[in-house]
Amino acid sequence: MKLKMMYSFLNADIGLIEKELEATVQAEHPLLRQAGVELLQAGGKRLRPVFVLLAGKFGEYDINRIKHVAVALELIHMASLVHDDVIDNAELRRGRQTIKAKYDNKIAMYTGDFLFARALALMTKLENPVAHKILSHTMVELCIGEIEQIKDKYNFNQDLRTYLRRIKRKTALLIAVSCQLGAIGANASEDIQKKLYLFGYYVGMSFQITDDILDFTATEEQLGKPAGSDLLQGNITLPVLLALKNLEIRESISAITKDSTESDIRPIIDMIKTSSSIEKSFELSNLYLNKAFKILEELPNNKTKTALNNIAKFIGKRKF
Amino acid sequence: MKLKMMYSFLNADIGLIEKELEATVQAEHPLLRQAGVELLQAGGKRLRPVFVLLAGKFGEYDINRIKHVAVALELIHMASLVHDDVIDNAELRRGRQTIKAKYDNKIAMYTGDFLFARALALMTKLENPVAHKILSHTMVELCIGEIEQIKDKYNFNQDLRTYLRRIKRKTALLIAVSCQLGAIGANASEDIQKKLYLFGYYVGMSFQITDDILDFTATEEQLGKPAGSDLLQGNITLPVLLALKNLEIRESISAITKDSTESDIRPIIDMIKTSSSIEKSFELSNLYLNKAFKILEELPNNKTKTALNNIAKFIGKRKF
């Protein structure tokens, strides 16, 4: 089943979110508008808005209220990608030139700032101080996560906890908060808010681990960027961390520096791909996924719950 | 009279703001903490917090409430300076190495992001949705201002309106909003909020014009960075715009490109310094200042009003 088929009952509302996203980036400055439109056209799964809307279905769902939350979350996600690409010197994302590649680091920096600021401005349409508090604190954590990622590059002595804390800040938190704010935006009970937050957190952890695996196992065509980019940029992801336990592979990995070229790293990527660390990474991803399924069991039965269940399954099994 | 003497009745509260600023940047990640502490130690006039507190005196002044607004405004100012230094490739600010110089552009980008996010998180302690709305919209405008500044570099055909709009976004808006949010944080009447906003706007315009003049007339020691930095970076400020009306100077200025060196530009700076454009720039600065004084006349008489009056005078006359 295709991802979009899992929540086809939301089709009209997701179309509206897309239009709102366009309107939000179009209303302003020519260069920012162009950068924003290009970012939107590059596509993406719009997972965060989908989680916001689905979470909202557990409360008093009002699309005209909750749409602001959905758009804000996607804008924050987009902003963090734009700033990420500056950090990673990334030329391509989703098969397209990144903002930093097409313009420069400086334009990318302010495009990101602008999207962050627009997101927070949008959230003020929801007159709930708790929502702002959550969103701005999430941004603080996102920034810390990014700084951590820079600091931990090429550090082959980091432990699993460091990795998990980093992907929590980098990915899981924003998905958790998408679910939580969806519930808050629809005035769902606090119990449901908490459960949806946890569901999003577990799904987010599984999602990022899968992403980190796919960076090794998927093709350049599937990824929209060269495979093995993470390791080439010095990012130590779960498959690398687990492969470091194999002394032979450890020796090769530890020799990687900022000056390593793609051809230096290619054989190491192959070693990791054929090691057991890929399978073990999938095991940890599944562990999180099962926690997500378990939380879902505590939520009321409805088609939204089925959708969340299917999305979680999809995320665990996706090939790119 | 020294600036600080003009509002000595706020001394204790300003000391508290300084402590809160330290606590805000210290609570987190080691690298961010270090960058934050260095930024604070570099000093600065803390003009925005002072305006917040003074504006608050026109309402129900409660330092434990209004301090969050004051700290948030200074954090946003600091964040914008950090991102500015990335844009301008600035090595020095206030006589110290910039974050981008000491670390790199990437660390500077996330330090700025982090400070922005902390500022918005702090504002949520004020449970007033209007305050968030104003602050996040101000951030949007700040970003547009920065992008405009990048776009307008080395554009010698821009008009006065373009310059004024740019310095409004870059400087005047944040000072206006400091006054406005100070009044809002103290539940002052809407009429007083509006008047204080306008006062801040006029003072901010005058302040930035003076800043742009001082970049030509002050010494490197006074500025804490080389004189003429603006023009060297391609930023067309008011003295340049006015000097462009002199055909002889125009010819020299128009020849400036990204590849111009300091020694290419030094004689042009001297031409501008000795032209009438400095005096004419002061005239426009004074025009804004007089508008600020006029607005003050409409506010109730008290020592706070005297302080605002003196600060405005100081800003108009300051030598660095």
Residues 6+ apart with CB under 8 A from A203: A172, A175, A288, A289, A292, A311, A312, A315
How is chain B split into domains, by residue range?
Answer: 3-317
CA atoms of A103 and B35, how far apart (whole Å): 28
Spatial CB neighbours of B236, under 8 Å, sequence gap ≥ 6: B152, B153, B154, B155, B156, B158, B163
Task: With a cut of 70, say whether residue B28 has pLDDT above it.
Answer: no
> Residue B81: its pLDDT value, please?
85
pLDDT number for residue B191: 97
Q: Which residues of B touch A (CB under 8 A)?
A: 28-29, 31-32, 83, 86-87, 105-107, 109-114, 116-118, 120-121, 123-124, 127, 129, 132-133, 136-137, 139-140, 142-144, 146-148, 150-151
DSSP SS3 for B208: helix
Three-state DSSP at A93 gives: strand
Which residues are CB-neighbours of B154 under 8 A, at least 6 positions away? B234, B236, B256, B257, B258
Q: Looking at domain A3-317, what is its CATH homologous superfamily?
A: Farnesyl Diphosphate Synthase (1.10.600.10)
**Nearest Cβ partner of B86 from A109, A150, A151?**
A109
Nearest-by-Cβ selection for A129 from B86, B124, B146? B124
Of all residues in chain A, the one with the smallest CA distance to B132 is: A124
- Contact (CB<8Å) A83/B109: yes
Q: According to the model, what pLDDT value does residue B146 have?
A: 83
Taking CB atoms and an 8 Å limit, are A29 and B136 in contact across chains?
no
Chain A: nearest CA to B68, how far in angstroms? 13
Helix B11-26, helix B30-41: angle, nearest 10: 150
Question: How high is the pLDDT of residue A87?
Answer: 73
| Residues 6 or more apart whose Cβ sits within 8 Å of residue B272 | B216, B231, B239, B240, B243, B249, B253, B278
Tell if the CB–CB gap between A106 and B114 is shorter than 8 Å: no
Q: How confident is the model at residue B319 (pLDDT cuts 50, 70, 90)?
A: low
Please say if the pLDDT value at position B98 is more than 80: no
Check if the beta carbon of residue B232 is closer than 8 Å to that of residue B253.
no
Q: How far off is chain B from A190, nearest CA to CA, in Å?
A: 20
Residue of A nearest to B131 (CA): A124
Helix (H) or strand (E) holding B97: strand B96-97
pLDDT at B262: 87
What does the pLDDT read at residue A290? 96
- A198 pLDDT above the threshold of 90: yes
Task: Count CB atoms within 10 A of the CB of residue B274.
Answer: 10
> What's chain B's Rg over C-alpha atoms?
19
Rounded to an integer, what distance in angstroms lies between the CA atom of residue B183 and that of residue B55? 5
B283–chain A nearest CA distance, Å: 31
Give per-residue pLDDT as tens, A91-124: 777 677 777 777 777 888 888 888 898 898 898 8
With bands split at pLDDT 50, 70 and 90, how would you rate the model's confidence at A27?
low
pLDDT at A319: 62
Contact by Cβ (8 Å): B109, A111: no
ipTM: 0.81
Contact between A147 and B118 using a beta-carbon 8 Å cutoff: no
Return the higher-pLDDT residue of B251 and B90.
Answer: B251
Burial of B219 (0-12, 13-18, 19+ CB in 10 A): exposed
Model pLDDT for residues B6-20, shown as the tens digit of each residue: 888 899 999 999 999
What is the percentage of chain A residues whose pLDDT exceeds 90? 53
Q: Across the interface, do B106 and A112 touch by the CB < 8 Å criterion?
A: no
Phi, psi of A310, rounded to the nearest 5 degrees: -65, -40
pLDDT of residue A5: 83
H-type alpha helices, A168-236: 173-185, 190-217, 220-223, 229-232
**A29, A32, A121 member nearest B136 (Cβ):** A121
Mean pLDDT (whole number) for B269-294: 94
| A103 contact residues in B (CB cutoff 8 A) | none
Kindly tell me if the per-residue pLDDT of A90 is higher than 80.
no
Tally C-beta pairs within 8 A across A and B.
131
Q: Which token pair is A253?
A: 């990995």
Nearest to A129 among B107, B118, B129 (CB): B129
Per-residue pLDDT of A36-88, as tens digits, reads 788 787 777 899 999 999 999 999 999 999 999 999 999 999 988 888 877 77
A147/B29 CB distance under 8 A:
yes
Determine whether the interchain pair B116/A112 forms a contact, defined as Cβ–Cβ distance below 8 Å: no
Query: How many Å lie between the alpha carbon of A78 and the closest alpha carbon of chain B?
Result: 14
Closest residue of B to A106, CA-based? B87
Looking at the complex, report in whole angstroms how far the Cα of residue A145 sits from the nearest Cα belonging to chain B. Answer: 10
Tell me which chain A residues have a C-beta less than 8 angstroms from the C-beta of B120: 120, 132, 136, 139
Q: Under an 8 A CB cutoff, do A31 and B124 touch?
A: no
Residue B83's pLDDT is 84
- Confidence grade of residue B194 (pLDDT, cut at 50, 70, 90): very high
Which residues of chain B make contact with A140, given a CB cutoff of 8 A? 28, 114, 117-118, 121
What are the chain B neighbours of A107 within 8 Å (beta carbons)? Answer: 147, 150
Mean pLDDT of chain B: 89
* Cα A237 to Cα A284: distance, rounded to the nearest angstrom: 13
What are the tens digits of pLDDT across the range B211-243?
999 999 987 777 777 778 889 889 999 999 999
Comparing CB atoms, the residue among A29, A87, A106 nearest residue B106 is A87
Q: What pLDDT, on a 0 to 100 scale, did the predictor assign at position B3? A: 80
Helix A105-123 × helix A63-87 angle, to 10°: 160
Distance CA B317, CA B286 (A): 9
Interchain proximity A129–B127, CB inside 8 Å: yes
Q: What is the pTM for the complete model shown?
A: 0.85
Does the distance separating the beta carbons of A136 and B123 come in below 8 Å? yes
- Measure the CA–CA gap between A309 and A239, rounded to whole angstroms: 26
Would you call A105 and B110 a contact, using CB atoms and an 8 Å cutoff? no
Determine the average pLDDT of the residues in A268-295. Answer: 94
Which two tokens mark A301? 């039965």
DSSP A7: G
Q: What is the pLDDT of residue B60?
A: 96
The winner for highest mean pLDDT among A115-119, B183-187, B260-264 is: B183-187
